[in-house]
Chains A and B, each alone.
Chain A
C-alpha cells in the first residue's frame, strides 16, 4: 500500500487509504512470550493468554476510550455551592442562551444578505467574488464562535495563502473547523453530513473550496484524492485543511492518521487544538448527539476555552514513507496538545478490523508451536 493506494482497484472500499495496523502495532502481542523447551499437552491446552487478552479488551480497551465523552466535573457538590450553581443555570439558560441565539441570528442575517448578492451578482468577477466570499465565511464563523463565547488563544504565526502546503489538525468536533476558519478561510476535506449542515456544506462552504466525500464510498475517495492534488497546486486556492484522523476523538487521545494528506508532496503544517474542559466537553459524540444538540450544549455553557497552536511546517524526509511521516506529525501534535497516541484506525467505529491482524496472531502462534515441536 505504499504507492498511491487510492487507484488500486483491487482493495475493498475502506482499505483504500487505511494504514496497515501491522505497521503501527508493536509486534509482540502477549501470545508470543517465548517459552522454550518441549511442546507438551499443557502448552496446547493452556489458552489463557488469548482468553486474558479477550477479557482485558472486554473490560477496558484503548479504542473505546478515545470516543468516550468525559463531562466536566460538576461543581454543585455541596450545600453552599448548590444555590450558586442553580443561579448559574438560570443565567446560562435564560440570559446567555437567548442572547447568543440573538447574536447568531444577527450574524446569519448579515451574512446571508451579503453572501447571496455577492454570489449571484458578481458572476463575472471571479477574483473579487472569491475574496468577498472568503471574508464572509470568516465572518459567520466568528459569529458562531461568539455564540458559545469562544475564548480561543492562537499561538504561532497565522497561516498564509501559498501553494504546496497542507494543514493537518487533530479533530474533536466540527467546531474545530469553525474555530480555525474564523482566522483563515481554509478549504477543508470533510465527511458529507445530513440535514442543515449538509445544506451549508453544499451551498456556502463549497465557495471557499471545501471538498466533501462520503466515508464509505470508494468512488468518492478517488475523486477526492484527485481534487486534493489539483487543489494544492493552485496558487489562488485557500489553504487546505485536513483532519487526518477522519473522525472526532475526545481530545484525550489521537488515533492513526490517514496517509492521504502526507503523500501530496507538499509541506505539512501541523495544527494542534486542545480544549479546556473547565466549562464544557467539546467532544462531539456523533453517535449520541446530533450536531444541533452539540451546538445547543455549547451555547448553554459558560464558554468554550481552547488553545490552537500553529506549528512549524514539516517536510517528508528522504527515505521516509508516508506512514512514517504521518506518525511523526502525529507525535508533534500529540506532544503539543498533550494527547495520548493509540494504535487504532478511527474508521473502526464504522467497520470491523481486517482479518489480517488476527492472522498475524495465528501465524506467530503456529510458528512458535512448530518450533517447539522440532526442538526435541
Chain B
C-alpha cells in the first residue's frame, strides 16, 4: 500500500537535511513531507499563498500577509528551510536572522524605521493611530541609543534580542 512517505528515499531525506543544516531529524522530515503534500492541494509541488491561507489558524495571524511574501510558492526543500528556524536544534543566531529577514523587506541588510513601523502596523492594526505608533517606536529606539534615522543591522538585532529568552520553537508531530 503506497503511502506518501515511501516516496521519499533516504537520499532525498539526506539532501533535505543537508539543505536545512540538520535542524530536523529524518522522522521529522517525513512528517513535514506528509504535511507539505496535504497543504499542496493542487499537487503542483509547491504551496501557493492561497493554499497557505486555507489554514485558518495561519490566516488569522496578524503577520500572515507579511509571511506570505516569504512563503508563497515554496517547494518542499524551501518549505523545510523556512521552518528550520523554528526547530529546537536551530541556534539563537539562526532564529534572530529569521526575524531580521522578516523585518528587512527589501533584503538590503538594513532595517529602517519604516520597516519596523510596517511590522508594528501589522501587529496593532487600527487600534493605535499612526502618530502614536511612530511616537512609541521613536521612544523605544531612543531609549536603546538609536535615533529615528538609524537603520539596524543584523548585529544590532543580535545585541537587542540575543540575551533575551527567545521562545521560538515548534514541535513537529512524529508518529
> Which residues of A are interface residues toward B (Cβ below 8 A)?
39-64, 68, 74, 76, 287, 344, 348, 352-353, 357-359, 361-363, 365-367, 369-370, 373
Contact = CB atoms under 8 A, between A and B. Distances in A.
A226 to B, nearest CB: 31
Contact of B1 (A58, A74, A362): A74
Contacts, number: 154
B8 interface: no
A59 B32 contact: yes
30 contacts: A39-B140, A40-B140, A44-B140, A45-B116, A46-B161, A47-B99, A47-B102, A47-B123, A48-B167, A50-B61, A50-B63, A51-B86, A52-B86, A54-B67, A57-B58, A58-B58, A58-B83, A60-B35, A62-B57, A64-B38, A353-B56, A357-B60, A358-B62, A361-B62, A362-B62, A365-B123, A366-B123, A366-B128, A369-B136, A373-B139
Binding site secondary structure of chain A: helix
A362 B55 contact: no
B56 A61 contact: yes
Given A45-B157, A59-B35, A59-B83, A54 B144 contact: no
B128 A60 contact: no
B102 A63 contact: no
A255 to B, nearest CB: 11
Contacts of B95: 48
B4 to A, nearest CB: 12
A135 to B, nearest CB: 43
B35 A48 contact: no
Contacts of B157: 45
Binding site secondary structure of chain B: helix
Nearest to B142: A41
B13 interface: no
Contact of B61 (A344, A358, A363): A358
A56 B35 CA distance: 12
A61 B55 contact: yes
B62 A57 contact: no
Nearest to A349: B54
Contact of B55 (A40, A44, A58, A357): A58
B169 A52 contact: yes
A127 to B, nearest CB: 48
Contacts of A53: 57, 61
Most chain B CB neighbours (cut-off 10 Å) among A47, A287, A358, A367: A47
A30 to B, nearest CB: 9
A369 B139 CA distance: 13
Given A47-B102, A59-B86, A60-B173, 19 more contacts: A40-B143, A46-B161, A47-B119, A51-B63, A51-B99, A51-B102, A54-B63, A54-B67, A56-B86, A57-B55, A57-B57, A64-B39, A64-B55, A348-B56, A353-B60, A361-B62, A362-B62, A363-B125, A366-B124
B126 interface: yes
A366 B166 contact: no
B63 A47 contact: yes
B56 A63 contact: yes
A276 to B, nearest CB: 20
A23 to B, nearest CB: 15
B123 A362 contact: yes
Contact of A51 (B32, B39, B168): B168
Contacts of B160: 41-42, 45
B60 A44 contact: no
